[in-house]
Amino acid sequence: MKRFALLFAFFVFLAGCSHKSAKVSVAPPPPIEQKPAATPNAGPSETPDLADSIAVPLDTKPLLVETGIASWYGPPYHNRRASNGEIYDMHAMTAAHRTLPLGSIVRVTNIENGDSAVVRITDRGPFIEGRIVDLSQAAAKKVGLVQKGTGQVRIEVLQTPAPIESGGKWAVQIGGFGHEADARDLAGHLSRRYQTAKVLTFNSPAGDWWVRVRVKDDLRARAEEVLRNSKTSQGGIFLVRLD
């Protein structure tokens, strides 16, 4: 009996030592199109939502008014660095403009429905003939342009960190080119023609190629001279402010 009792206790001990590996369930990351939920005690966002952070008085007189076609941009530019150094967030109230000082505060109004959004200029573009502003996805939703893609808008410049008509660092951007070789051929021609200019060739997240000409001292008058005297069979030629 003692031997039987000891044998029984030994098997009970072995059963207590055995275990099964636990399975850990990890939730998948959210899709890039979704705006991440706010977390308590989180630090300030790199691209703040102007609807919450900036109050513009209703009687503010615009410094400049423009009318033209607006478009919007999201992927593949989302989470990439914008012209002002911030990471572009298509869920923030921002926009791209070719010539307004970076950091300018602008009210964009959809002429068709009267809806408006206040945005901060953080990027450069649109680089398509006939368009004057590229909205973030959030701003495009607010003015009702997401489904249509483009629409007629009125831009009212409310605040700028620097003068609009004077100063600044200026360049000319040419493209987009479907092939790198075409962009580099033009860049070589411009480098020989404007020997004091810095000519850059680069591609965008969308896959097209661009040529940017930075003239000596980044002066607007010199950039405008390049603009007048340059020709391309692909894309367009745009005056762009870099700061």
Alpha helix (H) residue ranges in 85-243: 137-143, 180-193, 220-229
> Rounded mean pLDDT of 145-172?
96
- In sequence order, the 6+-apart residues with CB closer than 8 A to the CB of 175 are 127, 183, 208, 209, 210, 211, 232, 234, 235, 236
Mean pLDDT of the chain: 83
Exposure of 151 in the CB half-sphere (CA atoms within 13 A):
25
> Rounded mean pLDDT of 10-17?
42
From 105, 135, 159, the end of a domain falls on: 159
130 plus 154 within the same structural domain? yes
pLDDT of residue 59: 80
Domain that holds residue 222: 170-241
90 plus 136 within the same structural domain? yes
Task: Decide if pLDDT at 12 tops 70.
Answer: no
pLDDT of residue 21: 31
25 lies in some domain: no
Give the number of other CB atoms < 10 A from CB of residue 87: 14
Question: pLDDT digit string (tens) for 112-150?
Answer: 999 999 999 999 999 999 999 999 999 999 999 999 999
Of the candidates 101, 105, 158, 153, the one whose C-alpha atom is nearest the C-alpha of residue 130 is 153
In the block, which residue shows the tokens 């001990």?
Answer: 13
Distance (Å, rounded) from C-alpha 135 to C-alpha 206?
17
Task: Decide if pLDDT at 216 tops 70.
Answer: yes
Do the beta carbons of residue 218 and residue 242 sit within 8 Å?
yes
From 124, 159, 194, the end of a domain falls on: 159
Look up residue 210 and give its two tokens.
Answer: 């661009």
Exposure of 24 in the CB half-sphere (CA atoms within 13 A):
2
> Rounded mean pLDDT of 179-201?
95
pLDDT tier for residue 54 given thresholds of 50, 70 and 90: low
> Rounded mean pLDDT of 16-40?
37
Q: In terms of pLDDT, which residue wins out, 121 or 46?
A: 121
Q: Which of the 8 DSSP states describes residue 154?
A: E
> Rounded mean pLDDT of 210-219?
96
Bridge-based pairing state of the strands 170-177 and 150-159: unpaired
pLDDT tier for residue 85 given thresholds of 50, 70 and 90: very high
Q: How far is CA 44 from CA 48, 49, 51, in A?
A: 7, 10, 15
Number of domains making up the chain: 2
From 94, 128, 159, the end of a domain falls on: 159
Task: Decide if pLDDT at 163 tops 70.
Answer: yes
111 plus 68 within the same structural domain? yes
Q: What are 191-199's contacts with CB under 8 Å, separation 24+?
A: 194/226, 197/226
83 lies in some domain: yes
> Rounded mean pLDDT of 91-97?
97
Q: In terms of pLDDT, which residue wins out, 201 or 26?
A: 201
Task: Decide if pLDDT at 65 tops 60.
Answer: yes
Q: In terms of pLDDT, which residue wins out, 77 or 30?
A: 77
